[in-house]
């Protein structure tokens, strides 16, 4: 896997989808299954972190036409 800090959200999600497809086929050895699972968990964490960061930067337009920062959690 590429250095995950350099992956965009889209790249990480694409890699995660490929891993899921491999795991769903069920035709890979156990050791590879564990490796793919661990890699998938790392990619999932990266995606979640990037989504959380993006949510913090989102703005919405209110009825008055003012830009208002969305609630951050």
Q: How far is CA 34 from CA 19, 29, 57, in A?
A: 11, 9, 35
pLDDT tier at 66 (50, 70, 90 boundaries)?
low
Does the predicted TM-score (pTM) go above 0.75?
no
CA–CA distance, 52 with 47 (Å, rounded to integer): 9
What 8-state DSSP symbol labels residue 29? -
State which H helix or E strand residue 58 sits in.
none
Looking at the chain, the whole-number percentage of residues with pLDDT higher than 70 is 71
CATH tag, 4-69: 1.10.287
- Six-digit token string for 20: 């899921």
User: What pLDDT, in 10s, does the model give residues 1-23?
Assistant: 555 558 999 999 999 999 999 99
The upper half-sphere exposure of residue 68, i.e. CA atoms within 13 Å in the direction of its Cβ, equals 9
What is the mean pLDDT of the segment spanning 18-41?
96
* Residue boundaries of the structural domains of the chain: 4-69
């Amino acid at each position: 896997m590429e250095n995950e800090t350099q992956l965009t959200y889209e790249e990480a999600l694409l890699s995660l989808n490929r891993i899921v497809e491999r795991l769903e086929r069920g035709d890979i050895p156990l050791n590879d299954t564990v490796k793919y699972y661990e890699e998938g968990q790392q990619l999932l964490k990266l995606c979640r972190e990037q989504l959380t960061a993006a949510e913090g930067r989102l703005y919405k337009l209110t009825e008055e036409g003012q830009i208002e920062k969305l609630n951050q959690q």
